[in-house]
Amino acid sequence: MIITGYKYNTEAEAIAARKQCADHYGLPVSPDDVTQYWVDYQEASLNSPVFWYIVYDESIDFLGTPTDFEVVE
Amino acid sequence: MYLINSFRFQSAPSASYLLDSYSSEGGYSMRKISSTATNCIRVRRSSDNAEQDIGFVSDELDTTSLLSFVGANDGYVTKWYDQSGNGRDAENFTAVTQPRIVNSGVLETKNTKPAIYFNNDWLKHFGQVIPLATNPFSYFTVSSHETANDTGAVFKSRDAAQSGGGNYVANFHDRRTDKVNFLLSASGTFYRADLSVQRNTSDYTLLSGFVDSSNNMSAFDNGATGTTDTYSGTYTSNVLMIGDPTTGSGSFQLVGHIGEIIILNTDESANRVAIETDINNYYSVY
């Protein structure tokens, strides 16, 4: 499956990118809120080597130019 | 001589709620279906991402409070409260995949009733097991899928630890010639109970499915009898997904509205007509 998005070699990098998006939108607004993140990351656990990625959305253009990559299903 | 009016001392007749009559393991609805329910949904507004719980007025979603809170913006459902009393609320902590209830200040509706709009979005119950993993069980759902010749999952229940397709229970809103209603994947084999006819429309459909204690599956659509199957093998199920958060070839993301999902850990096929009538009287599906 070809995914358009942002690819990270470590989970820590993906977590940092997720936090960057949440911070950009001021999330969470309140500690009691359900919404904690703007986007979430996923693990390409069947790829070798394993990597982590965030699917592209136009609302996170500030992460840079997305790329296309294959995620093994 | 004193005459006592017996009616004077009776309390006012209470409204009849579906889940007061049938014990449910998960009840999600845009109307009040349990006398103990107080909240319907929790909503995030797009203007500042603030959230607020929305309850009921006259046993329907409190749309006045909802539209006042959201204003001319969009409103997204962050939590669909479980009315079964089991606390199995369905949530999504990620903004971009939350389903919508208000679109630019306009309430999302289907058949004139409030409805949650899913566009590849989802809600999950992350915690305690929804007991779809053992028979018997039953489900009743009101949904639309608004992409022609396509299918979307109204709900899936599977083992959270599984990768890929795995074994699972699912209720599909299928507009294809496959016309799947109830799919059960056990020990790597698919078993299915289908619609009575292909329904390639964007209309609401009332779908129901049943498994008895002998693994016999049956399904109904808008009160009509679909096909049957009998499963064997095993599967596990410990997470409930409304819509389909998965991607790839095994994904069936819903593009449409959902008004109600009721899951019971009993075979309610004997009470099917009564339950479907209650649901249809509100949603005017058929």
| A55 touches B at CB < 8 Å | yes
> How many other C-beta atoms are found inside a 10 Å radius of the C-beta of residue B188?
10
What pLDDT shows up at residue B163?
A: 54
Q: The dihedral of CA B151, B136, B285, B107: what is its sign?
A: negative
pLDDT exceeds cutoff 90 at B2? no
B56-65 average pLDDT score? 98
Cα torsion B159, B164, B168, B173 to 10°: value is 130
> Chain B residues with CB inside 8 Å of A71's CB?
248
**Predicted local confidence at residue B185, as pLDDT:** 87
Q: Kindly state the percentage of chain B with pLDDT values over 70.
A: 88
Query: CA-nearest residue of chain A to B46?
Result: A25
Dmax of chain A from CA atoms? 39
Answer whether B47 touches A (CB < 8 Å).
no
Q: Convert the pLDDT of each residue in A34-51 to its tens digit.
A: 999 999 999 998 899 999
Residue B167 pLDDT exceeds 90: no
pLDDT tens string A14-37: 999 999 999 999 999 998 999 999
Taking the Cβ of residue A2 and every Cβ of chain B, the question of whether any pair is shorter than 8 Å is answered with no
Query: Is B130's pLDDT higher than 50?
Result: yes
Task: Pick the residue of B44, B48, B51, B96 with the most A CBs within 10 A to test the interface with A by mutation.
Answer: B96
pLDDT recorded at residue B51: 98
Which of A1, A3, A34 to mutate: most B Cβ within 10 Å? A34
Residues of B in contact with A36 (CB under 8 A): 93-94
Report the complex ipTM: 0.93
Q: Is B161 on the interface with A (CB under 8 A)?
A: no
Distance between CA atoms of residues B16 and B20, nearest Å: 7
